[in-house]
Amino acid sequence: MQVPAGLKGVAVADTTIGAVRGAEGFYHYRQYNAANLARTRSVDDVVTLMIDGSLPPEAPAIDLGPMRGLPDDVARLVDLMSEFTPDALSVIRAALLALADVEGHQPVLDIDHDQRRADAIRLIGAVPTIVARHYRRRNGLEPIAPDASLTHAADYLRMATGTVPEDVRATAVEKYLVSTIDHGFNASTFTSRVVASTGASVASAIVAGLGALSGPLHGGAPGRALSMIEEIGDAENARAWVEAKLDAGEKIMGFGHAVYRAEDPRGVVLREAAEDIGGELAKKAVGIEQEILAKLAEWKPNQTIVTNVEYWAAVSLGIAGLPSELFTPCFAVSRVIGWSAHILEQANEGKIIRPSANYTGPEPVS
């Protein structure tokens, strides 16, 4: 059977976790509008929805606070790796595998759902601590221990920056984390499910997802969108800047999406978050966005090119106080939640994912 390149549009599994309706500019987690969840619910609430299927108070709220601490051996590993690699995703991969080993996590095939769930929640909680510790060590700063009394978003921002954030800044990070938890059967989610289907541990499946996320065609680079805004400077310069880039055959960072043909709802939420904080960058970003979209509409009048999540992720996270080198790791802090939900669902299926391929090489000699 012939299939489209990259399995585009092919449904390869059933899921109750969520879906994307790109033509409508809509996506959902379980039965809830995901953009509305980002506006109204905490990370901890939405973790509960993704892992246990219901929002609090219908389901007991999952408390990620006690999950954020690192064993001493894992903390030392993060410190050691921070001496020679700037790549936070590599550090997360190594640290999660070490944490799973230290704490005795087992393959999902050998444990029941409750233990798989506990392993997933533990690893979700550890990721922001690993990211923040690596960042601070790389920059000659002392690591900051997690504070279980803070929300997941506020504590992540505090551990990275060293300051308890204002509510409006913590809320911006919260909205980012919630809005990017899951987004259909993207490359990293599918990768995590494939590995989970082999019966491997939750940590191994998450690490596989991180490997997929490290690819520039998937994880993206919101920092580049922020650099673009800084390079353009003022909205009045945007059209000429875009025209020069298009003439050179270059992509415009933060614009265009493989799925959305209407406005990316994640970008809408994050634009709101940036405007809530306010300031010169937020104002400038609004004007530049309008000019870029107008120019792109002239360039391809028969195509709908929308602002994607990267543009407003860069602006909102930057205004909230996160340095640009943490933008992509911040995606991992969020997406590990979605991967975990998919890993648990796939583990319950109990069947290995084993597709076929069409051989197109030379005819074999018998």
Please list the active-site residues: 257, 310
* CB neighbourhood size of 302 (10 A): 4
Nearest 10 degrees: CA dihedral of 341, 342, 343, 345?
90
| Spatial separation of the C-alpha atoms in residues 8 and 1, rounded to whole Å | 14
Rounded to whole angstroms, what are the CA distances from 63 to 47, 48, 124, 178, 340?
A: 9, 9, 11, 15, 16
Token readout for 87 is 């790549």
Nearest 10 degrees: CA dihedral of 216, 188, 266, 23?
100
Residue whose token pair is 């043909």 = 261
Task: Extract the runs of DSSP E, i.e. beta strands, from the chain.
Answer: 18-21, 26-29, 32-33
- Backbone φ and ψ of 227, nearest 5°: -60, -35
Q: Which residues, including other chains, have CB under 8 Å from residue 37's CB and lie 6 or more apart?
A: 29, 45, 46, 49, 178
| Spatial separation of the C-alpha atoms in residues 266 and 334, rounded to whole Å | 13
* CB neighbourhood size of 72 (10 A): 8
Decide if 218 contacts 208 (C-beta within 8 A): no
| Spatial separation of the C-alpha atoms in residues 24 and 265, rounded to whole Å | 10
Token readout for 259 is 């799925």
| Spatial separation of the C-alpha atoms in residues 209 and 282, rounded to whole Å | 32
Q: What is the DSSP letter of 170?
A: H
